[in-house]
Amino acid sequence: MARHLITSALPYINGVKHLGNLVGSMLPADVHARYLRAAGHDVLAICATDEHGTPAELAALEAGQDVAEYCAEQHEVQKDLGDRFGLSWDWFGRTSRPQNRNLTAHLARRLRDEGFTEIRTTAQVYSVADGRFLPDRYVIGTCPNCGYERARGDQCENCGKQLDPTDLIEPRSAVSGSTDLQVRDSAHVFLRQSALADRIRAWVDAKEGWPQLTRSIAYKWLDEGLEDRGITRDLAWGFPVDPEDFPEAAGKVWYVWFDAPIGYLGATREWTDERFTPDESAAEFDRWWRTDRGAADVTYTQFMGKDNVPFHALSFPATLLGSGEPWKLVDRLKSFNWLTYYGGKFSTSEHRGVFMSDALELLPADYWRWYLMANAPESDDTSFTWELFGDAVNKDLVGTFGNFVNRTVTQVVRHFGEEVPGGGEPGAQEAELAERVDERLAEYLGHLDALEFRKATASLRALWAEGNVYLEAREPWKTVKVDRDRTACTLRTALALALVHSVASSPFVPHSAERLRLAFPSVLEVPLVLDGGLRSAAAEVVRAGDPLVPPSLMFRKLAPEELDGWSMRFGGAAADDGGVADRGAGDEEAG
C-alpha cells in the first residue's frame, strides 16, 4: 500500500463550471483517486473553491450580494454539483478559510526571512471613474507585442505574452470602460522568482516522467526567464497582509495567485482539523505535506488545464522551495489541453456549451464521465459535439458494456432463476477468454498508472467487448436446449466477467459499477489490483448457487431526435465561430 496525495486545480468561485473545466482537472483527478483506492492504496484527494480576486468581487456586485456571502453560497453550489458528479474528494475546502490564511501568512514570512521577498514601489493603474485601483486583468488595451486590441493587463490571450497593464497601448477600464486612468505609485511585496530560477530548473530537470505537454510549458517559461512577481494587491477582498511582517505593504491583500495554490495545504488542514483532535491535526497535516515529518513516502499528483501549468510547475514550487522548509512538492503533474464546444469557447453569457448543472439535468453523471474521459483532451484540443457524445453513450455504454450485462443476466434469469448457475466445467474457450481478459486488464492498469486516460478507456472498452465476443462464441441461448451444464458454465463465466467489468469500470463510471456489483449480494468487495489477478478472483467469488439480483437497465440509448434537441438548446454546430483568440476554455480556473 502506497500513500497518494491528489489535488485538482481549484475551480474558481464565480459560478457553475462547464464540462471543459471538469475534464481538465476535477474529473481525471477523481478517476485517479478512485483507481488508487480500488487498488488498495492510502489516498487523500483534495480540492477547494478558489475565492479571492476581483472576478469574485465583481460577480458578487452583479448578484447584489456581499462578496463573503456570495462565496459561501457559490461554494455550496459547486460542492453539491461535484458530489452529484461522483467527485469523491476527501475534502472540498475553501481558499478563504482561516487555515489557508494562516498558511499564507506563514509562507510569506518564511520567504521574507529567506530573503526571497522585497518591497517595490510600482506604478499602478487607478481608475478615477471607478474610484479604485484596477487589477491587471481589468485594464484592457492593445497588445504591444501582436497588436490584439482586447489584450488584458496581465496577459494577451491572443499571443500569450505576459504583460503589465502599463505595457498596453490605449488602456481603459474593463469595469466601466472609462479611459480616465491615472498611474499611481503603490508599494508591494514581490516574490523574487528570478533568484529561485536555478533551483526550479534543476527541480524540473529531475522530473523526467512529466508528460510532454507539462515539460514543454515549464521550459518555455524557464527559458524566457522567470520574472519576479508582485504578490500583493490594492484590493479589499483577500487575506490582509500582516502589517508586522510587511509594514510597507500594510492595508494590501495577498494576490489570489499567491494564496490559491497554498489552498491545497489550507484545504488539507481543514480536513485534518475536522477529523482529528487539535493536537493530532498538525501532525496528521504534516504527514501529508512535510517531508521531514512523514510525507517523504507520499506520491503527490496534480491535475490541471494547460493554462495552469506555469503556476504549478514554477510559481507554487518557488513559494514552497523559497520558504526553506521541506514541503512536499508535486511529483506528477498531469495537464490537459482544451475541450472546446464545436471548436469554440464554452460561454455562459452566450449560452453556449454544457455546464455541470445542465448536464445532470439531462442524464446521470456516468454518461458524462465516460464521454469526457474517453475523449479527454490529452494530446491535443478536442471538440465536444453531440454526435460524439451520442456515440460514446450508444456504442460504448449501451451497445458494449450494458448489452453484455443485460444479455447475460437475462439468460441466467430466464433459464436458471435468480442465482448463479451450477454445473459444467470450464474448457478451452474459458481458458482463452481468461487469458485475453488478463491481458486487457494488465494493459488497462498500465495506462491508469501512466495517467493515460484515453488509452485506459480504450482498454476498458476492449475489456467490455470481450464479454460480447464470448457470448457470441458460446451462444448460451442455443446451447440451453441441448446442453444445460455447458450453458450453466458459460453463464457463470459471463457473470464472473460482469463482476470484473464492475470492479474495473469503477474509476470511470462509479455509479453504474456499483449498481452492477450489487447484483452479487454475497460478494463484499474485490480490489481492482490483486497478485493473483482480478479475473481469477472473480471466478472464485462468483459461486454456483449464490443469489443474483438483476440490476435495472444499466444505460439507456439516446435517440437522434433527443440529441438534435439538445444541440438546438445548447447551441450546436451553428455556433461554430471559434477564432484563435476565442479558444481558451480554462477561463477563470485557478489554483
Q: Which residues bind Zn ion (CB under 5 A)?
A: 143, 145-146, 148, 156, 158-159
State the Cα–Cα distance between residues 339 and 20, nearest whole angstrom: 5
Q: How far is CA 504 from CA 4, 116, 498, in A?
A: 20, 48, 10
SS3 of 77-100: the string is HHHHHHHHCCCCCCEEEECCCHHH
The answer to whether 47 and 89 are in contact (CB under 8 A) is yes
State the minimum distance, in angstroms, from the CB of residue 161 to Zn ion: 5
State which residue, 68 or 146, has the beta carbon closest to Zn ion: 146
State which residue, 155 or 347, has the beta carbon closest to Zn ion: 155
State which residue, 159 or 187, has the beta carbon closest to Zn ion: 159
How many CA atoms lie within 13 Å of 339's alpha carbon, on the beta-carbon side? 26
State which residue, 156 or 393, has the beta carbon closest to Zn ion: 156
State the minimum distance, in angstroms, from the CB of residue 138 to Zn ion: 17
State the Cα–Cα distance between residues 547 and 246, nearest whole angstrom: 69
How many CA atoms lie within 13 Å of 450's alpha carbon, on the beta-carbon side? 15
State which residue, 116 or 138, has the beta carbon closest to Zn ion: 138
| Helix segments in 160-315, DSSP class H | 193-205, 212-224, 256-275, 278-289, 309-310
State the minimum distance, in angstroms, from the CB of residue 148 to Zn ion: 5
State which residue, 148 or 444, has the beta carbon closest to Zn ion: 148
State the minimum distance, in angstroms, from the CB of residue 165 to Zn ion: 14
DSSP state letters, 456-512: HHHHHHHHHHHHHHHHHHH-HHHHTTT-HHHHHHHHHHHHHHHHHHHHHHTTTSHHH
State the minimum distance, in angstroms, from the CB of residue 218 to Zn ion: 22
State the minimum distance, in angstroms, from the CB of residue 535 to Zn ion: 55
State the minimum distance, in angstroms, from the CB of residue 157 to Zn ion: 8
State the minimum distance, in angstroms, from the CB of residue 587 to Zn ion: 18
User: Phi first, then psi: what are they for 130, rounded to 5°?
Assistant: -85, -15
Query: Starting from the edge strand earliest in sequence, which strands make up the sheet with 139-142, in order?
Result: 151-152, 139-142, 169-173
State the minimum distance, in angstroms, from the CB of residue 147 to Zn ion: 7
Residue 533, Cβ density class (10 Å: 0-12 exposed, 13-18 middle, ≥19 buried): middle
| Helix segments in 290-402, DSSP class H | 309-310, 316-322, 356-362, 365-374, 386-391
Cα torsion angle, 440, 446, 449, 450, sign? negative
State which residue, 224 or 418, has the beta carbon closest to Zn ion: 224
The answer to whether 431 and 363 are in contact (CB under 8 A) is no
State which residue, 65 or 145, has the beta carbon closest to Zn ion: 145
From the list 38, 46, 78, 25, the residue with the least C-alpha distance to 376 is: 25
Count of Cβ atoms closer than 10 Å to residue 396 Cβ: 21
State which residue, 161 or 486, has the beta carbon closest to Zn ion: 161
The continuous run of DSSP H or E covering 29 comes out as helix 27-38
State which residue, 36 or 143, has the beta carbon closest to Zn ion: 143
DSSP structural state of residue 419: B
State the minimum distance, in angstroms, from the CB of residue 166 to Zn ion: 15
